[in-house]
Structure 1
């Protein structure tokens, strides 16, 4: 596993040299864009909308579009003027209780490994976080962008969880997404609670698998065995779900019956 960032954690006047690793991995299968009739791979080109000519990389700049349609060119020196200082430091500036952070703020996990010379001070921070029951709120710069994060302990490891800034989140009420003035009967609510009780269990991440990749590979292998123009065996039919127009109470009763069976 290759480190994606090297720096240190600033904990009071203590510095902990560390390496940062991505805490996630992608299972995506890369598919190329091809022309259907002869399977020729598609190549993307950068074309000017005005004259239709291809534009080489050296002639391409970044521009901010004004209301009148004109562009203000932003060059490398402009970005450098406003770029946050690359401190290579994860600065802890506050300690808080993790439950105070709504889940919508959590974004991306990273694994922190201490340098050999910093194992003891790493262990000190880990044990102090454990005992306090708190997480370290911190700021760090990665790829010229400043991020907010928390340092938290999972088993014997300190993880850095990148979190979103408040102004990155949308208010659902702005788009009228929250239903209001809806009356729910006691019978409907009791039955919904029964469904929740029937399906309640403890969280075990080993139970949950993303089967899409396996299903895609199986489908590709099946298609590879067929001749061009032939259709592979049809996929199994999906279970029918109740239509939105069906009576809510009937849907709840059917749901309970399906769970018990």
Structure 2
């Protein structure tokens, strides 16, 4: 597993040497941009339209726009000084309960593992988080950006770290168009909606779900590799029911039908096991 960041977790006078690893990976199938005539991959070049030249990495500085074509510029060493010593340290600022975290603030998940010589301190920190049932809140400088982060014990053997948005990065809910202060609904419709929720509740195992578009694209790629024709089936959306009450009633009926089929399938499966036994 590739190390993204290396440093230490600091709380009190304790320093825990750690390494950061991505906990998730993008499974989207990457399609390259090719020149239609020769199928050579198109190159993206850093180019200056004023000087009419390609720009090398060492000739690039970062700038903040203050007016049209006017920037305040920063060299790499200036930005490193602004980040300060915390760039290689996760400074813990609080220990909170899990229900104090709003999922709205969640950003990206990572695994935080021990460094080569940091097992004792790492295991102590892991056990302390697990025993206290608390999340550690800290700041982590990652790719030139100081992130808010939380850490928790995961399965008693690893620390999970999640970067979080700062409060000023969360948009106000009032900016959502067409919201109304009047949220009263019809009692009959609410009863039907609750029936649908009850019928669908607890039946999905997230670990079994896959991306259907990704699977179709992978099948198409394999067909083209072996020179076979791939049949493109148009995915049909369910017909939209305009009347809300009718839509609710149809949904309840579909749920009951699906539940009956699942019960029959489970019964058949159970009978087969008894015969085999």
Give 3-state SS (helix, strand or coil) of 2:192's partner. Answer: helix
CA contact (8 A) 2:65 2:72 kept: no
Matched, 1:212 2:213: yes
Give 3-state SS (helix, strand or coil) of 1:41's partner. Answer: coil
Q: How far is 1:247 from its partner?
A: 0.6
Q: 1:223 to 1:177 in 2, by over 3 A?
A: farther
Partner residue in 1 for 2:267: none
The structure with the greater share of residues assigned to helix is 2
Partner residue in 2 for 1:95: 95
Matched, 1:255 2:255: no
Partner residue in 2 for 1:11: 11
C-alpha distance in 2 between matches for 1:46 and 1:11:
43
Q: How far is 1:101 from its partner?
A: 0.9
Matched, 1:242 2:240: yes
Q: 1:142 to 1:208 in 2, by over 3 A?
A: same
Partner residue in 2 for 1:141: 141
Q: How far is 1:73 from its partner?
A: 4.4
- TM-score, with length taken from structure 2: 0.79
Deviation per residue, 1:37-78 (Å, 9 max, x gap)? 554533334455568x344236554443334x2312413154
C-alpha distance in 2 between matches for 1:111 and 1:250:
47
Q: 1:176 to 1:48 in 2, by over 3 A?
A: same
C-alpha distance in 2 between matches for 1:25 and 1:205:
16
CA contact (8 A) 2:98 2:134 kept: yes
Q: 1:124 to 1:63 in 2, by over 3 A?
A: closer
Q: 1:211 to 1:132 in 2, by over 3 A?
A: same
Q: How far is 1:151 from its partner?
A: 1.3
Q: How far is 1:150 from its partner?
A: 1.0
| Structure 2: tracts of 5 or more residues without a match | 258-277
Aligned residues: 254
Q: How far is 1:175 from its partner?
A: 4.0
Partner residue in 2 for 1:56: 55
Query: After the TM superposition, which segments of 4 or more aligned residues of structure 1 sit over 6 Å from their partners?
Result: none
Give 3-state SS (helix, strand or coil) of 1:148's partner. Answer: strand
Q: 1:62 to 1:133 in 2, by over 3 A?
A: closer
Q: 1:186 to 1:37 in 2, by over 3 A?
A: farther
- TM-score, with length taken from structure 1: 0.84
C-alpha distance in 1 between matches for 2:25 and 2:118:
27
Matched, 1:41 2:41: yes
Which has the higher mean CA deviation after the structures are superposed, 81-90 or 130-139? 81-90
C-alpha distance in 1 between matches for 2:116 and 2:38:
56
Q: CA RMSD in A?
A: 2.7
Task: Please show how residues 190-201 of structure 1 align to structure 2 within 5 Å.
Answer: 190-201=191-202
CA contact (8 A) 1:226 1:232 kept: no
Give 3-state SS (helix, strand or coil) of 2:85's partner. Answer: coil
Q: 1:32 to 1:89 in 2, by over 3 A?
A: same
Q: How far is 1:214 from its partner?
A: 2.3
Which has the higher mean CA deviation after the structures are superposed, 196-205 or 1-10? 196-205
Partner residue in 2 for 1:169: 170
